[in-house]
Amino acid sequence: MSLPARVATLVVAFLAVVAGVIYVVFGLIGQKPAVEDFRPYAANGSVDVTMMTAPQTTVSNKPDWVSYFIKNPSTGQFDHTTYFEVPPDTTVHMTIYGYDGCTPLRNPLWGHVMGVTGNAESVQIYNGKTLSAPQSVSTFDSWSNCSVQHTFAIPGLGINVPIASPPTVAENNALCTVSPCVGTSAASGGAPHSVATFSFKTPSTTGTYRWQCFIPCGGGFLDGNGGPMGTPGYMMGQMEVYA
């Protein structure tokens, strides 16, 4: 091979490696889900945030992964993301629709509501029973009842809220199959689900607070901890507190 040909080959190979590194760093590792900005919608020191858990993510290239969705405050649509922005020193009124089935907690401590207003959440499905009206509860027993599907936890703020699961076996076997679970169809928004509401105060200092689910719900992965449990945009995300 001639010298110019060897030089050209070397340059092309070098550029290919650089391009590969750039693609991996920025295209894969650095990829960040969309961020729902709730700051413009805050009023009188509070803001409403609505989220959803779904047993699968049919809108993504990982359709069998469980995932959280966040309701876009502008469009009213549930977007496939777990990143949201809220203002500091503001009370977040959170509503979470739980469309997934039950999974026992690895650590029963996470069945305890912590770090939110009154250390309690309001639910109508509680410990395997459907209540006549929403009640304020503080502790779930996921080892005796098929009662919890996921948790919403912000460890940096000491927040942990278990999300109730549909109470019966039949309901757990008839979950939403198209995500996000919206509308009235029995296969989607009309599928069995719980609703949890609670409030918490964002810190007065700005910053990023990661949140996660404490149930190892990554089915098909070692100990249930991989896949959606370890991928931003599924069962973990960030609450970004900015003015």
End-to-end CA distance of the chain: 62
**142 near other proteins (CB under 8 A):** yes
Site residues for other proteins, window 47-66 (CB under 8 A)? 55-56, 66
CB distance 163 to 194 below 8 Å: yes
**139 near other proteins (CB under 8 A):** yes
Q: Kindly state the smallest distance separating residue 55's Cβ from other proteins, in Å.
A: 4
In three-state secondary structure terms, 98 is strand
Name which of 12 and 109 has its Cβ closer to other proteins. Answer: 109
CA distance 202 to 88: 5
**In the sheet where 83-86 sits, what is the strand order?**
35-37, 83-86, 236-241, 207-212, 148-154, 159-164
**157 near other proteins (CB under 8 A):** no
**Amino acid identity, position 176:** C
Name which of 134 and 232 has its Cβ closer to other proteins. Answer: 232
**217 near other proteins (CB under 8 A):** yes
Which window, 32-40, 68-76, 80-88, 217-225, contacts other proteins (CB under 8 A)? 217-225
Encoded one letter per residue, x for contact with other proteins by CB under 8 A and - for no contact, window 89-108 reads -----------xxxxx-xxx
Residue 117 in tokens: 């207003």
CA distance 151 to 113: 10
Among 143, 183, 207, 242, binds other proteins (CB under 8 A): 143
CB distance 193 to 66 below 8 Å: no
Among 175, 181, 182, 241, binds other proteins (CB under 8 A): 175
Parallel/antiparallel/unpaired status of strands 129-137 and 121-126: antiparallel
**195 near other proteins (CB under 8 A):** no
Nearest partner of 242 among 84, 30, 100, 101, judged by Cα: 84
Site residues for other proteins, window 65-84 (CB under 8 A)? 66
Length of the chain: 243
Which window, 14-22, 89-97, 164-172, 182-190, contacts other proteins (CB under 8 A)? 164-172
CA distance 179 to 56: 7
Name which of 42 and 120 has its Cβ closer to other proteins. Answer: 120
Name which of 115 and 134 has its Cβ closer to other proteins. Answer: 115
Name which of 23 and 143 has its Cβ closer to other proteins. Answer: 143
* DSSP structural state of residue 228: G
CA distance 207 to 109: 27
Which positions lie near other proteins, rule CB under 8 A? 55-56, 66, 100-104, 106-109, 111-112, 114, 138-139, 141-146, 149, 153, 155-156, 158, 165, 169, 172-173, 175, 210, 212, 214-226, 229-232, 236
